[in-house]
């Protein structure tokens, strides 16, 4: 099939899971063209697998000090550019459009009447899963930012719904090679200010914190180890850590659960998806959550024992098979098979 694949570039999680599915689809002989939007091309890292790809402006979310800034987000939406990209996008011969919460490809599919699939965590909210209380606007935006006809939703648990397990990077399946370092903690809080994170972690000198996010260059300051972006380095620190402190996104907590890392989530204020993820994490008993950078909560969490790995199956194998079969109404069969297998 000729597939147009849209990737929301604002979060590394979208890129990470889409990278795995695009690789699998190409390996199975599909002709895949990728559109990435929401971030400048110079800021995108390790996206070679997506070639041929194009980067477009799209829409992005703006945050400040751990809170979603709705006013600035609305102010920065360029509707003229967005509609121009949609109207001029060449879809000649396209059999299917897949969107990982990417609005240009989603709207193009609807406008040009091309079959579409939503791929990613956001599409799990189309089903009966835990969702936080939020405003009408927040829920509407979550459900309608980049809608599709068929939904390959992802979550940490199936909740008896036709959704898939998380997409785990292939390198994290070599669990026999993992060496865990006691007291090592991975910290990824990209929506927080670095000075706030430092003040939050400084009192806990008995632990080694490896901090990713708004770090321009790597450096070590006592038990605080600041690391600039490196996919290989990040995954290496993840595998060696005993626990992860992070915002309540989806991909990183899923990778941590797969490996058996304990979790402490700090959801982004005003972002219903992250609030829902924190709610789901606590309901499942998979981890803890905090409403702010709370040292008291961190102290309690650091004393908690580790957890057993969940060993998720390779979801992209089942999703790619579902896509290729052409019988897209049979989604429950493929999602159930993914949960029945453990890696």
pLDDT tens digit at each of 343 positions of the chain: 999 999 998 877 899 899 999 999 999 999 999 999 988 877 887 788 999 999 988 766 666 555 555 566 665 666 777 788 888 899 999 999 999 999 999 999 999 999 999 999 999 999 999 999 887 777 887 888 899 999 999 999 999 999 999 999 988 887 555 789 999 999 999 989 999 999 999 999 999 999 999 899 999 999 999 999 888 899 999 999 999 999 999 999 999 999 999 999 999 888 899 999 999 999 999 999 999 999 999 999 999 998 999 999 999 999 999 999 999 999 999 999 999 987 6
Q: CB burial class (10 A; 0-12, 13-18, 19+) of residue 71?
A: exposed
- Shortest CA distance to 164 belongs to which of 180, 177, 151, 174? 151
Q: Give the per-residue pLDDT at 35.
A: 95
Task: Report d(CA 293, CA 74) in Å as an integer.
Answer: 27
Rg (CA), the chain: 20
Q: Where are the alpha helices (DSSP H) in the chain?
A: 12-27, 70-75, 79-88, 103-112, 136-144, 194-201, 231-240, 251-259, 272-284, 295-302, 315-325, 331-340
Contacts with 210 (C-beta within 8 Å, 6 or more apart), sequence order: 184, 185, 186, 187, 225, 227, 237, 241
Fold of 170-302: Rossmann fold (3.40.50)
Q: Where in the chain is the domain with CATH 3.40.50.2000?
A: 2-166+312-340, 170-302
User: pLDDT for 30-80, tens place per residue?
Assistant: 999 999 998 887 788 778 899 999 998 876 666 655 555 556 666 566 677
Q: Give the per-residue pLDDT at 229.
A: 86
Tell whether domain 2-166+312-340 is in CATH 3.40.50.2000. Answer: yes
């Amino acid at each position: 099939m000729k597939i147009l694949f849209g990737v929301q570039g604002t979060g590394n999680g979208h890129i990470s899971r889409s990278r795995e599915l695009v690789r699998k689809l190409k390996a199975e002989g599909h002709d895949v063209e990728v559109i990435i939007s929401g971030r400048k091309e110079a800021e995108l890292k390790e996206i070679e697998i997506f070639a041929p790809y194009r980067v477009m402006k799209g829409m992005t979310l703006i945050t400040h000090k751990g809170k979603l800034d709705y006013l600035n987000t609305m102010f920065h939406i360029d509707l003229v550019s967005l509609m121009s990209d949609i109207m001029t996008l060449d879809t000649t011969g396209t059999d299917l459009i897949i969107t990982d919460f990417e609005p240009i490809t989603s709207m193009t599919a609807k406008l040009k009447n091309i079959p579409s699939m939503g791929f990613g965590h956001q599409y799990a909210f189309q089903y009966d899963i835990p969702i936080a209380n939020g405003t009408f606007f927040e829920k509407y935006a979550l459900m309608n930012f980049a809608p599709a006809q068929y939904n390959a939703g992802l979550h940490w648990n199936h909740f008896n719904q036709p959704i898939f397990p998380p997409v785990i990077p292939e390198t994290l399946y070599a669990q026999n090679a993992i060496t865990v370092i006691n007291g090592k903690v991975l910290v990824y809080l990209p929506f927080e200010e670095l000075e706030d994170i430092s003040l939050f972690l400084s009192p806990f000198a008995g632990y080694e914190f490896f901090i990713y996010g708004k770090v321009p260059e790597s450096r070590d300051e006592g038990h605080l180890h600041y690391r600039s972006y490196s996919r290989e380095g990040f995954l290496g620190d993840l595998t060696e850590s005993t626990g992860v402190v992070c915002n309540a996104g989806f991909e990183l907590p899923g990778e941590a659960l797969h490996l058996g890392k304990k979790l402490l989530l700090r959801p982004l204020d005003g972002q219903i998806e992250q609030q829902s993820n924190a709610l789901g994490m606590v309901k499942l008993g998979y981890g803890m959550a905090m409403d702010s950078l709370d040292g008291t909560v961190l102290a309690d969490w650091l004393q908690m024992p580790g957890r057993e790995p969940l060993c998720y199956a390779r979801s992209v194998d089942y999703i790619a098979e579902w896509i290729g079969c052409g019988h897209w109404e049979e989604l429950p069969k493929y999602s159930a098979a993914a949960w029945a297998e453990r890696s």
